[in-house]
A and B are shown apart, each in its own frame.
Chain A
Amino acid sequence: MATSLEIRNLHVRTEEREILRGVDLVVRKGELHALMGPNGSGKSTLANTIMGHPGYEVTDGEILVDGENITELPPHERAKLGLFLAFQYPVAIPGVSVANFLRLAINAQREEPIKVKEFGQQLRHAVELLDVDEGFTSRHLNDGFSGGEKKRAEVLQMAMLRPQIAVLDETDSGLDIDALRTVAEGVKKLHGEQGLGALIITHYQRILEYVRPEFVHIMMDGRIVMNGGNELVERLEKEGYDRIREEVAASA
């Protein structure tokens, strides 16, 4: 099971062009990281590539889990190592209820199918954590869900699948204040209880105020250009990306 996720000099391209141009980053189990950066800088590309999206080609560099290169592993093997991605744009699975999908996903990672009772307990626990209605888990996954419901469903899945290291891609976007607090508290709780490590991709300070990550990274044009702590978030909030861009250009 993953205790560290290390990204080394990662270069990624799509059919059209190179998007990631040498990303270096280490996330360990139990650590909370924030990844910020302007639109189109490559954050989601990084998230998807970590999970093995077939549309992104790794042309150079490595993704290591506990020192093992996983760049060739199919996505489901990465999930089995304990990696998870909460999608920026979760897709709907018509005809499959949240509960049934979770049961499939949990069983996919076990030898013996999970006992009905144990599954029920875990599901109730997760439902309480995410503060959703009882009926939520019998609805078809993401089918007709509001933006906020989709994001909750992502975190609900995370709570059930218990990954070691998760990437949360703008899980805070589209949430109202209450939902944001619920989701942030959920993440904190999983961090506290299960030692979840997380890379939280966001544009907003608010979720970070709740979660208080120890590490903050800023991505621009396919590279991580700055690493720091919470003070970076405040700086960004005040100054915006332009100042940072200038600074990076000057020091290059």
Chain B
Amino acid sequence: MPDATGAPGSAPDAASRPAATRKPGSPPEATLNAALAGRGAGGAPLAVLRERARAAYDALELPRWRRSGFWQTSFQELDLDALAPIAHAPDPRLPEILAGARSAGVLVQRDACVVHVELDDELAQRGVILCSLEQAAAQHTELFERYYLRRLPLDRHKLEAASAAFWSGGAFLYVPPGLHIEHPFQIVYEISDGGSAQYAHTLAIGDRGSELRLREYDVATGEVAADALHAGQFELYLEDGARCRLAQLTDWGEGAVSDCSTSVVEVGRDAYCHWLPALLGGHLIRHHYELVVAGQGGDMAFRGVLFSQAHEHLDVFAVDLHETGPSGGDVHWRGAATGSSRASFEGLIQINPGAQRTHTYLQFHSMMLSDAAKLDAIPSVLVSADDVSASHGGTVGELDEMLIFYMQTRGLTRPQAVKVIVEGFFEPLIVQLDDPPLEQQIRDRIGVKLAAASDDIERYALAR
């Protein structure tokens, strides 16, 4: 029987609420993409780090990333004064998205509060910890301080600082050495309404030789008509020999949710991570992902799926960083764009000095479904060791009319045929999740997005 542990957190009080600070005058410099490269701010008590973050928050501007004259990702339109953390009472019900799923544990944060925590009893007895991050800071202080912000900075831009200064609730997961856990841990961040400021933080640790599955869902539950913000930080540390399959499904729906987040995964000696973020909806998303292979023999498969539609703006920066060798990497992302959406995938392989005998490959494949959409892929490689192999590749695809005709002759309608093509395009990554319920969720969501864009896709086909 799952038991409900972990008290839901409270929303930050008004006094510590972020105040907007936007200086008049010339626009600030755009933020350039660079690997975090181990720039962790941690190692101090939470109160100290929060204070530091608060100072950075006050001093910094809202971020903007600019790649060229006409392409930029800017959060400078965001009116922080109009946003506030929203408090909720505990909720015994499981979120809809987890219906029917078997879990090792579940943690749900609604807006600013953790409203639901459950952890398999037996796992709790064996030393697994799943609780709000607030609770972890108070009750598992030693563990918390050892890992919190080990790899994440807190002062690169205002939203990062806001997240580090003001996060509430939060998720903490610890899996002790040698424990193999079959069912996934599920962490859900929900935004329920416009005006919500959700400063989220997940800290997860797979100790030596442990094996786990972790899923994070970032979803909107209500109709988010007014602006809302998710500024999240995610960190996962896999100690020596640990193995994790991590999936993050971000789908803020068609509402006005902006999301500016950073996720980092550290892979220790002989550890392995299969990581798949799926970015399937959001008004404005900027996500920095960084996978750090920090120990010899560390290996990873870094997969990603993105699909932008309508007026969505999606900016992904994904880093495959190798600090030591021999190590392995395999980065493979796929993206599709419809409507007049803007999406960009910038992928960086960085191999530090001394990371000899590292082998890694980065590929991005895109599928254009509209002439008004833009989908850029910008791969780069930064190598500071000589005995390595690091390269990148990719393709740019469009709908193949011959393929559509072929399927039509088998009785499929045009939209059905398009759906098969697009699903088939993502399938090689989805099937690797090795997690049928999650796979189906992603397929279904892609199906819904396609259906919503079908008029658009038709227009595009006819215009060609």
- Identify the A interface with B (CB < 8 A): 51-55, 74-76, 78-80, 83-85, 87, 90-91, 93-96, 101, 104-106, 108-109, 140, 157, 161
Contacts and interface: CB of A to CB of B under 8 A. Distances in A.
A93 B401 contact: no
B425 interface: yes
- Highest count of chain A CB atoms <10 Å: which of B400, B413, B420: B420
Given A74-B408, A85-B409, A91-B406, A108 B416 contact: yes
A149 to B, nearest CB: 16
B403 A93 contact: yes
A95 B427 contact: yes
- A-B pairs, top 7 by smallest CB distance, nearest first, are A95-B424, A95-B427, A75-B408, A79-B411, A105-B410, A108-B411, A96-B424
A140 B423 CA distance: 13
Given A93-B424, A95-B428, A104-B420, A76 B403 contact: no
B420 A157 contact: no
Given A91-B400, A91-B402, A91-B403, A79 B409 contact: yes
Given A54-B401, A108-B416, A93 B407 contact: yes
A54 B407 CA distance: 13
Contacts of B34: none
A91 B413 CA distance: 17
A74 B428 CA distance: 31
B406 A87 contact: yes
A161 B407 CA distance: 12
Interface of B: 400-403, 405-414, 416, 420-421, 423-428
- Highest count of chain B CB atoms <10 Å: which of A79, A90, A106: A79
Contacts of B414: 74, 76
A75 B409 contact: yes
Given A106-B411, A108-B410, A140-B424, 5 more contacts: A51-B408, A83-B409, A93-B406, A101-B420, A108-B413
B423 to A, nearest CB: 7
Contacts of A91: 400, 402-403, 406
A96 B413 contact: no
Contacts of B407: 93, 101, 105
A54 B410 contact: no
Contact of A105 (B402, B412, B426): B412
B409 A78 contact: yes
A93 B409 contact: no
Nearest to B416: A108
B127 to A, nearest CB: 41
Given A76-B413, A91-B403, A96 B420 contact: yes
Contacts of B402: 91
20 contacts: A51-B405, A75-B405, A76-B408, A76-B410, A78-B409, A79-B408, A80-B411, A90-B406, A91-B403, A93-B407, A95-B427, A96-B420, A101-B407, A104-B412, A105-B410, A105-B412, A108-B410, A108-B411, A108-B413, A157-B410
A55 B400 CA distance: 13
Given A54-B401, A104-B416, A108-B416, A95 B423 contact: yes
Contacts of B421: 93
B407 to A, nearest CB: 7
Nearest to A94: B424
A75 B402 CA distance: 12
A55 to B, nearest CB: 8
Contact of A161 (B410, B425, B426): B410
A51 B420 contact: no
A237 B408 CA distance: 36
A105 B405 contact: no
A95 B426 contact: yes
Nearest to B421: A93
Contacts of A87: 406
Contacts of B413: 74, 76, 108
Contacts of A80: 411
B411 A76 contact: yes
- Highest count of chain B CB atoms <10 Å: which of A53, A75, A106: A75
Given A91-B400, A101-B420, A96 B408 contact: no
- Highest count of chain A CB atoms <10 Å: which of B411, B424, B427, B428: B411
- Highest count of chain A CB atoms <10 Å: which of B403, B424, B428: B424
A22 to B, nearest CB: 24
Nearest to A48: B405
A94 B425 contact: yes
Contacts of B401: 54-55
B425 A76 contact: no
B404 to A, nearest CB: 9
Contacts of B405: 51, 53-54, 75
A78 B413 CA distance: 11
Contacts of B428: 94-95
A75 B35 CA distance: 51
A76 B412 contact: yes
Nearest to B426: A95
Contacts of A55: 401
